[in-house]
A and B are shown apart, each in its own frame.
Chain A
Amino acid sequence: MSAACLDIRNLSAVLANGQRVLRSVSLAVQPGEVRALVGESGAGKTMIGKAVLGVLPSSVHIVEGEMLLEGEDLGRLQPKARRTLIGARTALIPQDPLTALNPSRRIGPQMTDRLVRILGWSGQRADARIRQLLDEVQIRDPDRVLRSYPHELSGGMRQRVLIAAAFAAEPRLIVADEPTTALDVTVQKQILRLIAQLQREHGTAILFVTHDLGVVAKISQKVSVLYAGKVVEEADTAALFAAPQHAYTRALIAATPRYTDPLASLKPVDEAVLAGLAAEIAAAEQAWRPPHG
């Protein structure tokens, strides 16, 4: 079996006050596979993505565990080598397409910059590549878009631009952090379809962060369910929906609105389940000792 594209083993991270935000997280993304990471707000989904991409906030420290990117242990690399590796093999599709683009730079240079300056492509090759990707995300007037400033584009357009930019350098792994949350509902579906399509065509592995089980079902082959920084269940997507093992997963599925009957199904996650989880996590916290004292 070839190495996983991303292999996170037993990763724990703490805040300055010692509180754990990631609790011995293990998850793997195989090459070309989409793994969804679901969980409610504050569960630590973004934290995992940032840990992989090497942009954790300075207040968060990794205290144990490994992250392997195509078999290379990120923790063992020198900072510069790590940056280079992450830059070459990964990309991010962010949640908010407005703040992810620099407001005072035109789209064109923002997109080609990375290819030219980091990967050393010629300007011409980078330009051709970007236009090809803009075509793939169904932008029909690339000249106008490339000349625009971010605020001159709609939210959906901006997200297309970011998707194109993410795929442009052919990364092996893309972290998509709730890429549709900031968009309105009609645009959400198109963007999701685009990501799925480009993922298939380019064979890129994606760690897809979301809190929407509907999205999980549409896009992923594997799922990890995260609660309070802990992976409580992981499974094939189909298996998870058919037979959820953990009480929290069952509650989450039950709490997801269905289009057939939106109001009736809008109920919060069961209190008893949450109490059970809290006890489970408290027990784990009791047992856990940070390595090296």
Chain B
Amino acid sequence: MDEARIARRGLGPRLRLAGGWLLLALLAAIFAPLVAPQDPLAQDLMLERLPPFWMNGAEPGYWLGTDSLGRDLLSRLIFGGRVAFVVAFAAAIAACLVGSTLGLIAGYFGGWADRIISRIVDIWMAFPPVLFAILLVAVLGTGLSSVIIAIAVIDWTRFCRVIRAEAMGQTRMDYVENARIAGYGRIGIMLREVLPNVVPSIVALLSLEMGIAVIVEAILSFVNLSISTDDPTWGGIIAEGRLSIHQAWWVLVFPLITLILTVLSFSQFGEALKARFDPVLR
């Protein structure tokens, strides 16, 4: 009990920092046309490789500098956030729905259902995930929906494994047995008695998965397999920044920082939410 309370107190600033960053990035992405200082696609060779605002030679209005085509970096990061968040939410929710449902069924029903689902998970996990993603997108064709599908198809196993183990532990609990005695059907028990107890884990995994989806999307953009339009993506910006690292380090460093902050925030936010959802820790 004490331990829980200590953990709970420690979560305060963590939740606020992570949540704050995510909220800021999300709002910026949603209202990108309003908050971005420049047009993210506008090239201006007169303004190429401007440094960030505190360095000599910076131009007002170009806070984080420009890339080698003279495009405003901050505006590109803000617009890139749109792709990142759409992929994060859509892919993570899809993976969560599929994985959690199968995990719940495997863990709660056991027997044949469990054997079949677990075997599929084992086979799935034998593929290296990033290679799997690249392969899938190559097959599905580039585009936002392919990226989302690829991530969901690969990462549902994360949810499945964890939720299966938790649901399995639940079936040994006396309240599940009590519900059997009372005459509830199996599916009713699964939804009413087991599911509420695995929700905290689902929430934490969901948030973590959003961070992972952001990374995978960035990797796919980096190898030029994500959305094929000119819309900026964080991975795409990183790829461009890598080419001009010696002339303009900021084009590489700022998107990296953005990416890392976002991914870390998702995972921290998930942990904090998990504690929030858990009545014993609350």
A residues neighboring B (CB under 8 Å): 53-55, 83-84, 86-88, 90-92, 94, 96, 99-105, 110, 113-114, 117-118, 149, 151
Complex Cα–Cα for A110 and B174 (A): 13
B135 at the interface (CB under 8 A from A): no
B6 at the interface (CB under 8 A from A): no
- Residues of B185-220 at the interface with A, using a CB-CB cut-off of 8 Å, are 188, 192-193, 196-197, 199
Complex Cα–Cα for A94 and B175 (A): 10
- Given A105-B196, A151-B279, check contact A96 B181 (CB 8 Å): no
Nearest chain B CB to A182 CB, angstrom units: 11
- Given A103-B279, A104-B196, A104-B199, check contact A117 B175 (CB 8 Å): no
Nearest chain A CB to B90 CB, angstrom units: 28
Q: Which of B184, B193, B278 is A118 in contact with, Cβ under 8 Å?
A: B184
Q: Establish whether residues B182 and A114, one from each chain, have CB atoms under 8 Å apart when the complex forms.
A: yes
B231 at the interface (CB under 8 A from A): no
Complex Cα–Cα for A91 and B264 (A): 49
B128 at the interface (CB under 8 A from A): no
Q: Establish whether residues B197 and A87, one from each chain, have CB atoms under 8 Å apart when the complex forms.
A: no
Residue numbers in B under 8 Å from A117 (CB-CB): 184, 188
B280 at the interface (CB under 8 A from A): yes
Nearest chain B CB to A154 CB, angstrom units: 13
Complex Cα–Cα for A110 and B173 (A): 15
Complex Cα–Cα for A84 and B180 (A): 10
Q: Establish whether residues A99 and B175, one from each chain, have CB atoms under 8 Å apart when the complex forms.
A: yes
Ordered by A's residue number, 9 sampled pairs between the chains whose C-beta atoms are within 8 Å are: A55-B180, A83-B180, A84-B183, A87-B182, A91-B182, A99-B175, A100-B178, A102-B175, A104-B196
Complex Cα–Cα for A167 and B278 (A): 30
Complex Cα–Cα for A110 and B189 (A): 12
Of listed B177, B183, B192, B193, residue having the most chain A CB within 10 A = B183
- Given A55-B180, A90-B181, A92-B178, check contact A102 B280 (CB 8 Å): no
Closest A residue by C-beta to B188 = A117
Contact bitstring B148-183, A, C-beta under 8 A = 1, else 0: 000000000000000000000000011101101111
Closest B residue by C-beta to A52 = B181
Number of interface residues of B (CB under 8 A): 19
Given A101-B175, A102-B175, A114-B182, 12 extra CB contacts under 8 A: A55-B180, A83-B183, A88-B183, A91-B181, A96-B174, A100-B174, A102-B173, A102-B193, A104-B196, A104-B278, A118-B183, A118-B184
Q: Establish whether residues A92 and B175, one from each chain, have CB atoms under 8 Å apart when the complex forms.
A: no
Q: Establish whether residues B174 and A99, one from each chain, have CB atoms under 8 Å apart when the complex forms.
A: yes
Residue numbers in A under 8 Å from B280 (CB-CB): 103, 149, 151
Complex Cα–Cα for A149 and B183 (A): 23
Q: Establish whether residues A55 and B181, one from each chain, have CB atoms under 8 Å apart when the complex forms.
A: yes
Nearest chain A CB to B276 CB, angstrom units: 12
Residue numbers in A under 8 Å from B192 (CB-CB): 113
Q: Establish whether residues A104 and B182, one from each chain, have CB atoms under 8 Å apart when the complex forms.
A: no
Q: Which of A86, A103, A104 is B181 in contact with, Cβ under 8 Å?
A: A86
Closest A residue by C-beta to B196 = A104
Residue numbers in A under 8 Å from B199 (CB-CB): 104
Q: Establish whether residues B178 and A94, one from each chain, have CB atoms under 8 Å apart when the complex forms.
A: yes
Q: Establish whether residues B173 and A99, one from each chain, have CB atoms under 8 Å apart when the complex forms.
A: yes
Complex Cα–Cα for A117 and B185 (A): 11
Of listed B173, B175, B278, B280, residue having the most chain A CB within 10 A = B175
Closest A residue by C-beta to B111 = A58
Q: Establish whether residues B279 and A54, one from each chain, have CB atoms under 8 Å apart when the complex forms.
A: no
Q: Establish whether residues A102 and B196, one from each chain, have CB atoms under 8 Å apart when the complex forms.
A: yes
Closest A residue by C-beta to B181 = A53
Residue numbers in B under 8 Å from A103 (CB-CB): 197, 279-280
Nearest chain A CB to B108 CB, angstrom units: 13
Q: Establish whether residues B181 and A92, one from each chain, have CB atoms under 8 Å apart when the complex forms.
A: yes
Complex Cα–Cα for A99 and B192 (A): 16
Complex Cα–Cα for A118 and B184 (A): 7
Residue numbers in B under 8 Å from A151 (CB-CB): 279-280
Nearest chain B CB to A113 CB, angstrom units: 7
Complex Cα–Cα for A275 and B278 (A): 51
Residue numbers in A under 8 Å from B193 (CB-CB): 102, 105
Complex Cα–Cα for A23 and B93 (A): 53
Q: Establish whether residues B279 and A104, one from each chain, have CB atoms under 8 Å apart when the complex forms.
A: yes
Q: Establish whether residues A104 and B197, one from each chain, have CB atoms under 8 Å apart when the complex forms.
A: yes
